[in-house]
Chains A and B, each alone.
Chain A
Amino acid sequence: MKTFRIGGFHGKDYKLTGDRAIEQMPVPDKVVIFLSQHIGAPAVCNVAKGDKVNVGTLIGKAGGFVSANIHSSVSGTVVSVDPVADGSGIKKPAVTIEVEGDQWEEGIDRSENLIPECNLDSKEIIDKISDAGIVGMGGATFPTQVKLSIPPGSKAECLIVNGVECEPYLTADHRVMLEKSDEILVGCKIVMKALGVDTCYIGIEENKKDAIKLLSSKADGGISIVPLRMRYPQGGEKQLIDAVINRQVPSGGLPIATGAVVQNIGTIFAIYEAVQKNKPLVERIVTVTGCYVSNPKNLKVRIGTSISELIAAVGGEPDNTAKVINGGPMMGRAMSNVEAPVTKGTSGILMLSARDTVREKEQACISCAKCVSACPMGLEPYLLYKLSYRRLYPDMESEKVTDCIECGCCAYTCPAHLPLLDYIRVGKAETMKIIKSRQIKK
């Protein structure tokens, strides 16, 4: 079975909610919608306090080429356009809306009917995706229309759909593949048309056998399912391209250099809804889970719903919770403020106990080289750690720190419990600053 070439690890996957159907969360009383839920420029707010909005009303317009539209996820009255604290407690520009009823914008098809045919051309599809404010929903939140606009000089040869979901605990993509398989396949065909390619691979790890079986039985027209051996971080874009078509994104290069465009399963479903049903990105699936959570679930929630409401919906925060994480345990962010809202990139809310997550005391590096064999980018984490510790940033640049994808395999593996990635991250940021200032000088 296929997998990526180097590094990574196979650990317990803790998929507690893989067999739990997606549940619709009730519309909340109030939502907070951030104007920057994506990589790139924040959206520009085009509503004011007191304005009435419907579900799907544009409330923030893309603020540049790399940016995304923001829509209201509820109907009601805008009560504030002041900044609100995010999960880390940092205040960010946001629109707060008090809910009245559930009135949707005209033209949005909310029925469950499958619309298999799409007669739009490539540009029309990309425009519709852009209008709907779709971003990469695996967590990276890169604006999708930018990713689908192939830069001049490059050529897309295939679409790779990311159904890997290699982060432990998360099952949102798994459930979408099972419950929305037809929509996913139509979505793939729409994106293939937008890119002008004939081939599409859906990469799925073998711990989701039911999804592999279901999609394989339905796939046609150039779409094939690629079962992958279970290994973290297979959902990383570079690792997935390597695993599926055995091509490597060059150091410092873009994925399109391999001829592949990667889209997440959740994004494909959002694209289907945007193009076929005129539905902007106002909802998403969030896995709310943890070993001690009484009733972990996959919830379909409106963007802007407070995370504390999601936690309440699974039976509340267990008493032994030490960390509430936005995302998966390997790359998610620990939150200090659970009143923060769900954004387009919230794939999971994870509650970990102290025993599972508190770091052990650091010991001396014994040069066991386990971090070197765990690094999926072929870097030397122990060396980058030491260089960062000594602030030797130019040396970090020549040791390719900018290739680091921050997957956390090094720190996960380290028997001496060294916080390898913490140091590497700091060193990487400093190195990036040096590279940027050098470019400005030129």
Chain B
Amino acid sequence: MRVISPSPHLHGPLSTEILMRDVVIALVPAFIFTVVTGGLQALFVTLVSVASCMLFEWLINSYFFHRPNSLTDWSAVITGTLLAFNLPQSIPLWIVVVGAAVAIGIAKMSYGGIGRNIFNPALVGRVFLLISFPVQMTTFPVQADAYSGATPLQFFKFVPNAASMTPDNYLMDLFIGFVPGSMGEISALLLLLGGLYLIIRKVITWHIPVFTLGTIFVFTGILWLINPEIYANPLFHILAGGAILGSVFMATDYVTSPMNVRGQIIYAIGIGVITVLIRVWGSYPEGMSFAILIMNAATPLINKYIHPKRFA
């Protein structure tokens, strides 16, 4: 029996599953590092987060939408992993389950599932937990001996004259990951390595991470040049908190980021500016998740007005 269909008659090697799986692979090194330095607690948080994300997606598909399960596309695994990376490893596990329910149930499935959500599900889960359980979400175990249980960004936000109190090897510790923080805030180096893998595999392009981090660097660099006594070193802003996790893994989420390079650059600059505004003048020490969610909301508008470069 001959098949008749219009051209093209070939399809490239890409599939949703391959793209999503690559994102999970890119997160593995940072995950292993967190488990090795932070202990089994980190492993449990991640396992519970991934398992409950998958469970909620399966439940909603099966009993609410009455449609076949979509777990094979790996997207629930990514949401689960990214949610875990946004939580302190000391968080009670039942709170993780609540976060997963919000991420999958409200932020993803209530819009219709994969591809239809407006906001990054993992970030909606994180922000929901941050607002609902502020104490549990901002208490971090002490990892290295040099610093208190506060994250570097908390330290800067709430300790006066923090800029003059930081030790010399501070930036290096941040880069490698010997500081307290959410699981995925910890090792800048391994997260960047994961990002590099995604760029080489052409899962993402360099535009969003580079423009987001670049904007943060330039904006905080200007402030630092104005007064280094009050404002932190721009390298600190890039390495601390969720800047790298956010710009490489969360801001580049396909569904919630703009559809062409021009739009992506506007979006990335927006994230950078809002992050710095919140970090420096806002009431939260970290603004990355809010910045990404705000720019997620702006994405449909960007797509409507910013078109790609036409051939002629």
Contacts and interface: CB of A to CB of B under 8 A. Distances in A.
Contact of A330 (B4, B7, B19, B75): B7
Contact of B8 (A330, A360, A368): A330
B137 to A, nearest CB: 29
B135 to A, nearest CB: 36
A368 B115 CA distance: 9
B12 A380 contact: no
Contacts of B254: 366-369
A415 B8 contact: no
Given A360-B11, A416-B16, A421 B6 contact: yes
B11 A411 contact: yes
A336 B115 CA distance: 36
A168 B7 CA distance: 13
Contacts of A260: none
B311 A403 contact: yes
Nearest to A408: B8
A373 B73 CA distance: 23
B66 interface: no
A321 B2 CA distance: 8
A378 interface: yes
A45 to B, nearest CB: 30
A325 interface: yes
Name the residue among B205, B307, B310 with the largest chain A CB count within 10 angstroms. Answer: B310
A403 B14 CA distance: 26
Interface residues of A, number: 66
B235 interface: no
A323 interface: yes
Contacts, number: 147
B259 A366 contact: no
Given A377-B311, A379-B310, A422 B6 contact: yes
A274 B75 CA distance: 61
Interface in B110-169: 113-116
A365 interface: yes
Q: How large is the interface on B (under 10, 10 to 19, 20 to 34, 35 or more residues)?
A: 35 or more
Interface in B1-35: 2-12, 14-16, 18-19
Interface of A: 5-7, 9, 11, 168, 238, 242, 248-251, 321-325, 329-336, 350, 352, 354, 356-360, 363-370, 372-373, 375-380, 382-383, 400, 403, 406, 408, 411-417, 419, 421-422, 425
Interface of B: 2-12, 14-16, 18-19, 73, 75, 113-116, 205, 254-261, 307-312
A-B pairs, top 9 by smallest CB distance, nearest first, are: A408-B8, A248-B312, A364-B115, A378-B310, A415-B14, A368-B254, A377-B311, A329-B9, A369-B259
27 contacts: A6-B309, A238-B311, A238-B312, A249-B312, A321-B2, A323-B2, A325-B9, A329-B7, A329-B8, A329-B10, A331-B7, A357-B9, A360-B11, A363-B16, A364-B114, A365-B115, A366-B114, A366-B115, A368-B19, A373-B261, A380-B308, A408-B7, A412-B8, A413-B14, A415-B14, A419-B6, A422-B6
Given A334-B3, A366-B19, 18 more contacts: A6-B309, A251-B311, A325-B9, A329-B7, A335-B4, A336-B4, A352-B10, A358-B3, A369-B259, A369-B260, A377-B310, A378-B310, A379-B308, A379-B310, A380-B260, A415-B18, A422-B6, A425-B6
